[in-house]
Amino acid sequence: MRAVSEIEVDVTPTAVFEVLTDATHYPRWLGGARRVVVDDPAWPSPGSEFHHEVGVGPVDVHDATSVADIEPGRRLDLVVRARPFLVADVRLEVEPLADGARIRMIERPRGRFRLLAPLITPVVKLRNDHSLRQLAELLATGSR
């Protein structure tokens, strides 16, 4: 089971991908992201990672997200960790449109967390829908 969210934006796919591959922007658009530290000089190459603090309310989790694969300008595959609460595969796709781009976010729990997928997928989808709206706003304002 996976959560799929998408949104269309009036900016170029190149501009979208620049923001998606700049992890320091994640706290500005990704729900739950509070702080990101990119100390891996290979970011966003496959195998590279960044450290982050994520949370809701008073709960903070410090962990890391790594790049599983990348197709520059089109797709970024991440392994997101917020242990002990979640490990998931997240695919961010950017599709060119005549007057902008479509961004698709696909999140699938990994490992033992797949057992919880029927319970958490609706909540994850709501969070990802909100995150993509925040991303669209960030892109629209040009404050990258």
The CATH T-level fold of domain 3-141 is Alpha-D-Glucose-1,6-Bisphosphate; Chain A, domain 4 (3.30.530)
pLDDT of amino acid 144? 53
Give the contacts of 70 (CB within 8 A, at least 6 positions apart): 21, 44, 45, 46, 76, 77
Residue 84 has pLDDT above 80, yes or no: no
In the predicted model, what is the mean pLDDT of the chain? 91
Q: Where are the domains of the chain?
A: 3-141
Residue 85 has pLDDT above 80, yes or no: no
Q: Smallest Cα–Cα separation from 48: which of 25, 64, 67?
A: 67
- Of the chain, the percentage scoring pLDDT greater than 90 comes to 67
Distance CA 128, CA 107 (A): 9
What are the tens digits of pLDDT across the range 23-72?
A: 999 999 998 888 888 889 999 999 999 998 876 777 777 888 999 999 99
Res 63: pLDDT? 87
pLDDT higher than threshold 70 for residue 143: no
> Quick one: pLDDT at residue 31?
86
